Amino acid sequence: MAHIVTVTITGGAYLGPSQDKKISINADNIILIEDVGVGEIGNSVITMSDKSKHYVSEMREQLEQLIN
């Protein structure tokens, strides 16, 4: 069974939407969570198993709690 979590894609982040947008993703497909650098848009970058990246407003620690 899929482990679905909701994250907020950061609006204006690179190729993301123009405004913040909540999406549901399968946490089992997350292969990497990274903090973004100071001054970057968003708080974390999620890399999915298909190599797509999502800039999200949740902090890495919050995401790790969601997926565990």
State the total domains in the chain: 1
52: left (phi over 0), alpha (psi -120 to 50) or beta: beta
Q: Give average pLDDT by consecutive 10-residue segment, the chain, 68 residues.
A: 86 70 92 79 87 89 85
User: What pLDDT does 6 receive?
Assistant: 93
Q: Report whether 36 contacts 13 (CB < 8 A).
A: no
Domain span including residue 15: 4-67
User: What pLDDT does 68 receive?
Assistant: 78
User: What pLDDT does 9 receive?
Assistant: 87
User: What pLDDT does 49 receive?
Assistant: 95
Name the token pair of 48: 């999915």
